[in-house]
Amino acid sequence: MNFEKYPFEKLNELLAGIVPNEKYELSALTIGEPKFETPQFIQDKLKQTSSSLRKYPSTIGEPFLRESMINFVQNRFNITLSLNQIVPTFGTREVLFNFPQFALYNKQNPVMAFTNPFYQIYEGAAIASRAEVIHIDLIKENNFKAYLSDEDLKRCDLVILNFPNNPTSASMGVEELGEWVKKALEFDFILVNDECYSEIYFDETKKPASLLEASILVGNSDFKNVLVMNSISKRSSAPGLRSGFIAGDAAILKDYLQYRTYVGCASPIPLQEAAAVAWNDQNHVAEFRKIYKKNFEIAKEILGIETPEATFYIWLEVEDELEFTKKLYKEKNIKVLPGSFLGRNGLGKNYIRIALVENEEKTREVLTRLKDFING
């Protein structure tokens, strides 16, 4: 298999040999990893349940974990799922990689579409599935929203959306997502939305919609052909727990669950215990949202950046993203991610991605440094 180098490997190569300005401490704004302590009550639950390491975990996950995820979906999206409509996963990266291989296995000439620019695991899954790829280009002219012609959709076996979006921070409303559900039913393809940024929002009146909500809106209450994935990593500052889920179409999930028994991605029970208390609690998530909202207020103050509806990314347009990245590192000891490393066919060119995942003090200092660089 001929996989592309991961964006961070490309970044290391781009910056190799550059000596950064030692006047400044290194600030890495590259990776979407929260820099905050995992809440203590989650850590405590992990410690308290460590004795259950003596047990083999089951592929389907413990009932308490599935119930906590169902509770999350109910509380957040007002959707009641049954146990056969949700499968716990080891984060979302593994399911984003292996689900397409499962879904496309019996297709003679599989076709997979996904948003572009993108989280690179989508492309890796397509390569592993031997699938032809159709890119759903997210561009400034369409407000970075997803559109694909009926001609292309008729050819698709699997479509992966990602809203709220990494890296552009764009969102799509429930009606817009509903149009995608209609197309999935009309042309009979599996439609997935990667929703791992759904809880990093800043206006209670504009909470990001779930594809499950959109499915019900257009009358597809059984979620036929519709699936969502979500993760605890961003919302709870707990990427190390590796707790996610895939939910929706029960018929698809029944066969996928059997497939997963061979994959071997069962989560250790102490991690399930800690994840369950995190999924069941919304208060700590609200506190993290306040931090990210403040970071965007600082970004608006210093850089004039408008706060997006969701995510913790800035998708900043620049003249030459590769030269900008190299010079910024050399002169200000700041690392950012060139947008062209996240896209194909020219998408992402002349953009950089900035992850606002530090505390208020660090965010203000580094964005001031960035502004000084931009102003020359």
Distance, CA of 33 to chain centre: 11
Query: Same structural domain for residues 269 and 290?
Result: no
Is 150 a member of any domain? yes
Whole-angstrom Cα distance, residue 223 to residue 23? 55
Query: Degrees (nearest 5) of the Cα angle 136, 345, 101?
Result: 55
Question: The domain that contains 332 carries what CATH number?
Answer: 3.90.1150.10
Query: Same structural domain for residues 272 and 181?
Result: yes
Query: Same structural domain for residues 144 and 277?
Result: yes
Is 43 a member of any domain? no
Backbone angles phi, psi at 159, to 5 degrees: -125, 130
pLDDT of residue 245: 98
Query: Same structural domain for residues 229 and 341?
Result: no
Distance, CA of 321 to chain centre: 23
Q: What is the crossing angle of helices 93-104 and 250-263, to 10°? A: 110
pLDDT of residue 376: 82
Q: Which residues contact 284 (CB under 8 A, 6 or more apart)?
A: 39, 41, 42, 236, 278
Whole-angstrom Cα distance, residue 349 to residue 342? 9
Query: Same structural domain for residues 290 and 233?
Result: no
Q: Which of 245, 266, 281 is the last residue of a domain?
A: 281
Q: Pull the structure tokens for residue 29.
A: 């704004």
Is 44 a member of any domain? no
Helices (H) and strands (E) in the chain, counts: 13, 12
Is 48 a member of any domain? no
Q: Which of 248, 281, 314 is the last residue of a domain?
A: 281
Q: Which of 222, 253, 281 is the last residue of a domain?
A: 281
Amino acid letter, 273: E
Is 42 a member of any domain? no
Is 2 a member of any domain? no
Query: Same structural domain for residues 178 and 263?
Result: yes
Whole-angstrom Cα distance, residue 64 to residue 371? 48
Query: Same structural domain for residues 216 and 270?
Result: yes
| Residue ranges in the chain whose pLDDT is less than 50 | none
As beta bridge partners, residue 136 has 115
pLDDT of residue 324: 98
Is 233 a member of any domain? yes
pLDDT of residue 194: 98
Query: Same structural domain for residues 140 and 194?
Result: yes
Query: Same structural domain for residues 219 and 258?
Result: yes
Q: Which residues contact 33 (CB under 8 A, 6 or more apart)?
A: 239, 355, 357
Q: Which residues contact 278 (CB under 8 A, 6 or more apart)?
A: 39, 42, 232, 236, 238, 241, 243, 284
Q: How many domains does the chain have?
A: 2
pLDDT of residue 2: 85
Question: The domain that contains 61 carries what CATH number?
Answer: 3.40.640.10
Is 1 a member of any domain? no
Query: Same structural domain for residues 178 and 324?
Result: no
| Structural domain of 300 | 7-37+284-375
Query: Same structural domain for residues 223 and 80?
Result: yes
pLDDT of residue 1: 78
